[in-house]
């Protein structure tokens, strides 16, 4: 993300799109998909939420 932010030819719209993509895919796509998949495979809703929070803590937070 910093690499794209530092390029002088990058427009504000491109930078905004990149920032949104950093939030949209890892949080708004992956999280609900993981919860739905776990519930469909037999986990309770609260187990699915628990493991989703654990996965966010292990994968997404270190990337932030």
Q: What gap in Å lies between CA 20 and CA 53, rounded to an integer?
A: 21
Q: What gap in Å lies between CA 21 and CA 40, rounded to an integer?
A: 27
On whether the pTM is more than 0.75, the answer is no
| Confidence at residue 6, expressed as pLDDT on a 0 to 100 scale | 56
Q: Are 27 and 59 in contact (CB under 8 A)?
A: no
Domain boundaries, the chain: 32-64
SS (H, E, C) the chain: CHHHHHCCCCCHHHHHHHHHHHHHHHHHHHHHHHHHHHHHCCCCHHHHHHHHHHHHHHHHHHHC
pLDDT of the chain along its 64 residues, tens only? 555 555 555 688 888 888 888 777 777 888 899 999 999 999 999 999 999 999 888 887 776 6
């Amino acid at each position: 993300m910093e690499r794209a932010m530092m390029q002088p030819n990058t427009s504000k719209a491109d930078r905004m799109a990149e920032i949104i993509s950093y939030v949209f895919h890892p949080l708004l796509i992956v999280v609900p998909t993981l919860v739905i998949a776990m519930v469909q495979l037999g986990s309770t809703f609260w187990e699915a939420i628990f493991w989703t929070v654990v996965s966010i803590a292990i994968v997404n937070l270190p990337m932030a």
